[in-house]
Structure formats: C-alpha cells, structure tokens
C-alpha cells in the first residue's frame, strides 16, 4: 500500500497527542488560543519516537503595507507554505499546504506568518484539540459554573513571574520604543487609559499593567 509507513506514523502521533490547553491570550480581540510553542513542544517528541521529519517550503509570498488606527506603519505578510511529513525509515512522505499571515511594524511579519502556518498545519494533520467543544449545545444555565478562563489568565500571569515593578520597567521600555517609531505622548496617555484603565501607569494593578503591556508589544512591533 502506497505511503503505508508515513500514514501509520501520523496515526500513531495523533493517537499519542493529548489535549493542548489554550495558554495564549489575544488582548485586542479578547480570546484564548493554543500557542505555537506549546504545540511544537507537544509534537516534537512524538515525531522523534515515530520517525517523522517535517520540512516547510514557502510556495508563495506577498507583503502589504498598511497603517493602524494610531497611525503606525505595519506590514502584512501572506504566504502559502507546504509542509512535507517524511517517514525517516522508508522515505515515504505526505504533504499539507496551509496559508499563514502575520503583521508587524518591523522585520517579524514573516516569522509570525510562518508560525501561524506551522501551527495550523500541525493542528490539521495530527487532529489536535484543546479539549473544549465550541459547538456544545448545553444550555448556559446548565453549564458548570467554573472560572476556567479567569484561572487560566491568572496562571499565565503567575508563570511569567513578573512583579509590578518589572512590568512597569517593561512598559517604560516599550513606550519609549513606540514613541521613537512615531507615537505621540497624547497617543501613549490615551492608550494607557484605553488598555490599562488609567492614564497614569503607576495607578494600574498587576493585571492592568499586563493588559497594557500586551497592547504595547503589538504597537511597538516587539512581539516575540
């Protein structure tokens, strides 16, 4: 049977996968997501165990400049990426072609587009799940009253291990970077209030500082 070895290896990897929690949080659009790093860390040992090598190849690439609402110049990269899943023992392979997009004001847009493509290639190939059912038809008043998302966000903050002072230091650095790339003082003060609740960053609590820091990373192009 053609590609029997690679198909069996992919099935074995999929069988060995567990639910991957949504540890990432998009502050701008208010939703949780599976982080690419969590997916890769989960898949890597299974690929090694079952002898599967994954290689990407960019098939097409397009870059589009645009401006944000605050007036910052950004670049949107759209690329089509082909991932080849090769069985190391037999040389059999199968491919998956996915679309990836990423925006940045500097040189990271391509990296973000590639990260997005990699993430969804792995999700679709290995049928990864976060363990949640988006189509759950249980009535809202019958669902268990658990603060899952709140607890998850607190866990993320704790895992970062940052004090309020270290957060303020990071905010100062990114505000300076954002200002150097074109933001006015008025824009920065407004952004503090819109994303942290106060125009004075010293009045923000730990969570508000974290929210504002997420916004600054996006606007300053300092997202890792």
Cβ within 8 Å of residue 119, ≥6 positions away: 34, 36, 39
Q: Are 72 and 105 in contact (CB under 8 A)?
A: yes
Q: Name the pTM for this structure.
A: 0.58
pLDDT score, position 222: 60
Domains of the chain: 4-126 (3.30.390.80), 162-220 (no CATH)
Burial class of 119 by CB neighbour count within 10 A (0 to 12, 13 to 18, 19+): buried
Tens of pLDDT, residues 3-16: 899 999 999 999 99
Residue 167 CB neighbours (<10 A)? 20
The residue whose two tokens read 């019958």 is: 142
Could you tell me the pLDDT band of residue 65, with boundaries at 50, 70 and 90? very high
Alpha-carbon gap, residue 178 to 172, rounded angstroms: 10
In our burial notation (b when 16+ CB lie closer than 10 A, e otherwise), range 32-53 reads bebbbebbeebbeebbeebebe
Tens of pLDDT, residues 138-167: 444 444 444 444 444 444 444 345 667 777
Tens of pLDDT, residues 168-193: 788 888 888 878 778 888 888 888 88
């Amino acid at each position: 049977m053609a590609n029997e070895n690679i198909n069996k290896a992919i099935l074995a990897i999929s069988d060995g996968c567990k639910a991957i929690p949504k540890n990432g949080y998009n502050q701008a659009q208010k939703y949780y997501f599976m982080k690419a790093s969590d997916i890769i860390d989960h898949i890597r040992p299974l690929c090694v165990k079952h002898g599967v090598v994954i290689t990407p190849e960019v098939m097409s690439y397009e870059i589009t400049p645009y401006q944000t609402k605050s007036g910052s110049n950004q670049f949107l990269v759209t690329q089509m990426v082909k991932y080849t899943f090769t069985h190391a023992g037999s040389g059999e392979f199968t491919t998956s072609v996915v679309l990836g997009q990423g925006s940045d004001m500097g040189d990271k847009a391509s990296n973000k587009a590639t990260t997005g493509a990699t993430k969804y290639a792995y999700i679709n190939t290995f049928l990864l799940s976060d363990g949640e059912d988006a189509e759950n038809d249980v009535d809202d008043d019958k669902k268990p009253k658990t603060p899952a998302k709140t607890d998850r966000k607190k866990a993320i903050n704790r895992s970062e291990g940052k004090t309020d002072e270290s957060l303020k230091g990071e905010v100062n650095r990114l505000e300076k970077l954002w200002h150097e790339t074109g933001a006015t003082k008025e824009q920065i003060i407004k952004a503090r209030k819109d994303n942290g609740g106060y125009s004075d960053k010293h009045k923000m609590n730990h969570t508000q500082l974290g929210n504002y820091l997420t916004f600054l990373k996006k606007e300053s192009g300092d997202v890792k």
